[in-house]
Every structure is written in C-alpha cells, then in structure tokens.
Amino acid sequence: MMAQMPLVDYLVLGAPPYLRGTVCADCKAIYLDRRFACGRCGGVQFTSRRLADTGVIRAFTVIHRAAPGIAVPYTSVIVDLDGGGVVKANLTGDPDPEQVRPGARVHLCTHDGATDSNGDVALVFSYELDRVVEGACA
Ligand SMILES: [Zn+2]
C-alpha cells in the first residue's frame, strides 16, 4: 500500500504540513530534530511546538556543483522563521534571482520526494518566495 511519510521527523504531516521545533525548557532555544542537551545552556528538558510556515531569508547561496543526479543550479537558503527557529532548506518554485536576497519573505512548501520499493513516498520541504499569491506553492 502506498503511503506518504516525512523525510525528516520534524516535518509533521498535517493539513497543511508544518515543522515542529524542539524547545529548551530552560532558555527557550529552538532546535530541529531531537536533542540530548541544549547547545546554549546545557539543559536537558525539552518541549515541542509548531513553528511558523513563514519567515525571511537570512542568507543564501546558489549551488552550481552537486553529486551526480542532483540538478543544478539550485538555491540553498537559511530562513529565520517568524516567531523563532532557523531552518536550512532549498528555495524552490523557479525563483527570480533578482528577488532572492536577505530579508525576502518566504513560506513553507512540501513536495513528493523519492519513492521506495513499496511505493511509499517521502515528503520533503522547501521554501518559496512570497509572490503574487502569498502562501501559494508552485
Ligand atoms: Zn537551553
């Protein structure tokens, strides 16, 4: 039977899908994925919360060389999420290079990734620039 599963466990399948942050109970630092201890304060108690689907580009780079089978060029971004959290991901949706800059607003998008031998599909995420229709994904 075909199923959809997230490629990373901090991508939560919902309607719509969202990222889940791991939050230090002591200093409120936000991480993606599981942590044994907080890198900022050493705390070992964590909670989790839904992170915003929107944010701004902190930094970006255009990748021109990659492993065989990976299409280039593509744009990798570091996104400061609204309300906290920092995510590294790809910028998709055929972004206009003139619009890709620090401070540009982006929103979360999900896509079907690789399919395994059972037909199960890995759901991956990226960000797209806010354009004509805010929140819309290509
Ligand atoms: Zn902490």
Owner of token pair 């890709």? 100
How many whole angstroms from 101 Cα to the centroid of ligand 1?
A: 31
How many whole angstroms from 44 Cα to the centroid of ligand 1?
A: 8
How many whole angstroms from 38 Cα to the centroid of ligand 1?
A: 5
pTM over 0.85: yes
Burial of 67 (0-12, 13-18, 19+ CB in 10 A): exposed
Give the rounded percent of residues in the chain with a pLDDT score beyond 90: 70
Weakest-pLDDT range from 21-25, 68-72, 89-93, 104-108: 68-72
- Half-sphere exposure of 2 toward its Cβ, with a 13 Å CA cutoff? 7
Q: What is the pLDDT of residues 37-90, one digit of tens each?
A: 999 999 999 999 999 999 999 999 999 999 988 889 999 999 999 999 999 999
How many whole angstroms from 40 Cα to the centroid of ligand 1?
A: 5
